[in-house]
Each structure stands twice: as structure tokens, then as C-alpha cells.
Amino acid sequence: MAQYVKISKSKNLRYQLVSILYLLFITLTLLQIPVDWLRVNAKLSADFMKVSADDEISDVQLSNTIKEVERLQTEFITLSKIQKDPTGYKTTDEFFINQKKGAQLFAVLYELNNYYKQSLNSKVKSKYEQLFKEDLNNGLSTGEFKKWMEWKFKNVPGSVAQLLINEILVRCHLLHGSLGVAKPATNNLVELAFNINEIYLGDTALLVLNAGYVEKFELLYGKNSTSEFKKVGDTVYFIPQRVGTYKLTATGMDKSDESFEVKVLPMTISGSNGSSNDKKIQYFFQGKPSQITSKAITEGSKYKLVGGDWEQVRVSNGKIEFKPTKPGWNVLKLESSAGALYLEDSVFVYPTPQPVVVASQTANNKISAKQLLSEGKLKLKIFHPLYNDILYKVDDIDVRFIGEGLRDQKFYSESIGMENVQVSKVRFIQVKRIKLSTNSGSMILKEPLLIEVI
């Protein structure tokens, strides 16, 4: 049995190309992150700050490398503009092979490699080896131009080749420290405000304060001060506990202030399970005991369910248990015993579904006369295959026995007795009507079953 799988060279190159594109995608995605956002994450900001002044190299060698790569990048873009298919393979081959620009790029990078190989600064040397690890492993460290060229640019479309040149520039700038994140020089009291216009109960609003300028932070509900927030360093996490309008105010050293009003909406049923953005229609069945979970429910507090028509309401242990009684659209509201609104949503209640009626001793609605005589009755089973907690209780059944004549009889349970019936003369048993009591009231089933006696 073979131990290895052999793949074609073209497929292998395609896999390498996909890997490079993933790397470029991640690199370019990081470069698109707004600088202000980085301040929210202290660790991420600190990591980016490490690429700044402390490690910056001001030598001519690296600066010349950046200028040379930028020159080649400009020439490649110029060539792409005059090609008939600028994103195809022809542009790459023309520039890097026919015009020997690939050799020029390799020479510049190889010279840079020799420079850092001789560097006595182990920190800088290690950074270079990390940034150019793949190039070093594919010919750059040993000066193998052909190996590096095939790995880097062979069978590469022009659009991807341009990204690869950009990637080399990004790594050079990271090595140089010119992509460092400077600390903001703004005098704004609030540097970042996230999720502050309109939120649902249980969500979190976030503010990042300019610690050097803010003297005091205050949160008001109506006219009263509240402590429904948590302050960690220069970051404020606002987690409202009530529905209504809050006012968040930051006051500066010069007594200037910056304020935000946040409208807090009651939690929805979908949001009560963790996501206020989930807008799926909530539906229940008339008479079927139901429940929902809610983060709005806290232990030791008393609540009531208002709006709509509900029975058997019980609110505890993070759950709302109830039985809908009115079909159609209903408004479900959860309030505290003091009348404070916590949850509000529209739900749809379907009428009680009709059950399935089967005779338990039959096969394909057929039963032998011998078995019917032996058991003395025909037992019906009335149920719903999906909702076994819905009650279906028989009030009465109208049955017609069809044979040499017709005979109608009424029964008051799921069993159809044969005591007064000449079974040998019966050919069909027709269940004409069933009256049921359900969780939500009475239900009539007309002609639900016809059984053949064989």
C-alpha cells in the first residue's frame, strides 16, 4: 500500500499560491484596522507599539532597500497599465523574467539579508528572520535566485504579483518601525463610543475616555445618579438594568463636558437567549404548555406576565412558563412587581393542531373479524406526533357499522365496544365524528377514520 500521495506540479503551485493569498489577506486586513480602535484592547495596542521607536533602524541600508522596492513596484504598475491583460500571467513573466526585474529585486533583498546576517543586534536580527522566514527558507538565505524566483513569482497572475511586492514593502516597513501606532494627540474627552445610541436590556455599551483630560464620569437615569457601569482603566462598560433613557457625561479638567444619551429598550424573546439582533418570529401553540428563558430574570425578584392571553404563568429560575389560550398575534410583556418593564415582544399563537387518529389493532386500517371477536373492542389512539404534551380527551364518538345494513352507535371513550354488534356481518367500521376536549377547549373531528373488517 502506498505511503505517499503524488500531486501534479501545477496543483502544488496552486496550493502555494492559495497559502500566500491567505497570508496577504491577513496582513492587509490588519492594516485596515482603525488606529483609534486599537486603543480599546490594551494588549493589542501594546504589541503594535513595540514596532515603533525602540526598535527603529535608521541605517541607509534598509532605507535604500525600501526605495528600490518602491521603484520596482512603480515600474510594475506602469507595465500593467499598458498590457492587454494586466492581471494575467504574461505581465508577471514579462517584468520579472524578460526584463530581469526579478533578479534586481532578489539582489536588493539578498544584500539586505547579508547586512542583517552580520548584525550584532540579536533583537533586530531575530525580527528580520521572523519577517522574511519564508523567503529565507526558499533560496534567499543561500543566494539561490532560481529557487526563490520559482517559489515567489512563477505561474503567478499579475494582480497577485503586485500584492507580493506590497507584502515585501510591508515587511520592510515593519522592520523599519515606520508602521508603529502613535498615541493619539486628541483632546477629546471620549475617544471611542461603541453601541451607545440604542441598546437592549442586557447589552453592553462601551466608552473609552481620554484619561489625561477626563476628571469625572457620571451616569444618570432620569435625574438620579446610578452606578450601573464598570470602569476599568480608561474604559467604561455600561450595562443597563432598567428600560428608559440614560445620560452618560464625561467632565474634563477644564470643566468642559461631553454627553451621550442612551435609549435602553426592553429585551426581546430572541435577545433574552443572548442575541438582540436575532429577529426570528416566535411562535407557540394554543393550549400547549410553553416556556422561554430570559437573562432579564434574576433570582429573588418577583415578576408578572402581561399582554396577550396566558394561563398557568410561572416566572422563576431564569424561565417564563405559560400556556397560550388565544390564537393569533399576542404581545408578551414581562414586568417586575413594581411595574418596571424588562421584556417585550410579539409572538404568534397557532390554534391547537388537529391530532392523528388510528386504531391500535389494525394494519393499514384493516382488522380481521376473528381478532375483533377475540378482543371485544376496537381501541382508538388519538395523539399529535410532534407535541405529546397537548391533551386530547374523548368526550364522545359517533360510529357507523356497515354490513348487511347500517347501524349507528355512540361511545364515550377511546374504546368502541362490540358487545351489541354481530361482527360476522360487519364489513366496515366508520368513525363519523369525534368530539374532543383539549388544553384550549372543544374540538370536533369529522369522518377521521374508516376501518375494513376482513
What CATH number labels 269-350? Answer: 2.60.40.10
Indicate the pTM of the whole model. Answer: 0.43
Q: Domain 190-265, what fold?
A: Immunoglobulin-like (2.60.40)
Rounded (5°) CA angle 438-442-448: 85
Nearest to 206, CA basis, from 229, 187, 227: 229
Taking residue 385's Cβ as centre, other Cβ atoms within 10 Å add up to 8
Q: Are 377 and 416 in contact (CB under 8 A)?
A: yes
Q: Are 404 and 398 in contact (CB under 8 A)?
A: no
Helix (H) or strand (E) holding 93: helix 89-93
The reported pLDDT for the residue numbered 137 is 92
Rounded (5°) CA angle 303-246-333: 25
Three-state secondary-structure class, residue 429: strand
Contacts of 255 (CB under 8 A, 6+ apart): none
Nearest to 19, CA basis, from 160, 221, 226: 160
Q: From the CA atom positions of the chain, what is the Rg in Å?
A: 38
Q: To 10 degrees, what angle do helices 101-117 and 60-82 make?
A: 160
Let me know if the fold of 190-265 is the same as that of 269-350.
yes
Q: Are 395 and 417 in contact (CB under 8 A)?
A: no
Q: Are 245 and 201 in contact (CB under 8 A)?
A: no
Domain regions of the chain by residue span = 9-176, 190-265, 269-350, 356-453
The strand pairing partners of 431, in sequence order, are: 399, 449
Average pLDDT by stretches of 10, the chain with 454 residues: 56 76 79 54 46 47 88 87 71 86 92 88 87 92 91 84 86 71 57 75 81 84 87 85 86 85 80 45 79 68 66 74 82 75 81 86 85 86 83 90 84 86 85 87 85 86
Task: Scan for cell 521572523, then name that residue.
Answer: 130
Give the CA diameter of the chain. 114
The reported pLDDT for the residue numbered 135 is 93
The reported pLDDT for the residue numbered 307 is 62
